[in-house]
Amino acid sequence: MKFADSVCIGEAEELWETILEDVANDQLKERYFNSKPTDMSKAPMPNWRLLVSSNYLYTNTVLTSRGCPFKCDFCYNSCEYVHKVFRNKSMDNVIKEIQELPTRQVMFIEDNFIGNVPWTKEFISRIRPMGLKWHAAVSVNLVNYPDLIEEMRDSGCQSLLASRRSTKNPFKAFIRHRITLKDTKN
């Protein structure tokens, strides 16, 4: 490879120990590939104390899920090496991770915070008493859940990131957005 000694394709949690052993034994392979989705209950909790926070723009990011129920062609979630299963971490593990942060300002840094609406509703009801100020990326079908938008606001949501393609976009046929206009209208 031209720009790297090794590449891990897919989710790394189940490969990481093997990769580290290979490095220690001077047997690093060019490619490692994980063909199955990580069991999110086994995903380790980050140890934020190991980071020198001044070296990073953000150290308050929390991941509650992986994947997205939509597979828009422009998104990396539609790539063949990305597992097609949307899944959430356990709420207890996510709440524990938030409690370990040195701040009450949190960025939920996933592809689609509302990929599992019932999970999201329960989660935001559980974090509401924590007094957080939080931000997340969502799919535009959030407009179909006005009660959820209000619950988000009441639980400390400060901003939501979403996009909707233009119906006049000349690349519309190329990107094949999987969220239709019908999905974003009541």
Listed by start position, the domains of the chain span 1-36, 38-184
What integer pLDDT is reported at residue 108 of this predicted model?
A: 95
What integer pLDDT is reported at residue 38 of this predicted model?
A: 84
CATH topology of domain 38-184: Rossmann fold (3.40.50)
- Three-state SS sequence of the chain: CCCCCCEEECCCCCCHHHHHHHHHCCCCCCEEECCCCCCHHHCCCCCHHHCCHHHCCCCCEECCEECCCCCCCCCHHHCCCCCCCCEECCHHHHHHHHHHCCCCEEEECCCCCCCCHHHHHHHHHHHHHHCCEEEEECCHHHHHCHHHHHHHHHCCEEEEECCCCCCCCCCHHHHCCCCCHHHHCC
Task: List average pLDDT for each run of 10 residues in the chain, which is 186 residues long.
Answer: 89 90 96 87 82 84 86 68 80 94 91 93 97 93 92 96 63 50 55
What integer pLDDT is reported at residue 98 of this predicted model?
A: 95
What integer pLDDT is reported at residue 180 of this predicted model?
A: 58
What integer pLDDT is reported at residue 24 of this predicted model?
A: 97
What integer pLDDT is reported at residue 171 of this predicted model?
A: 47
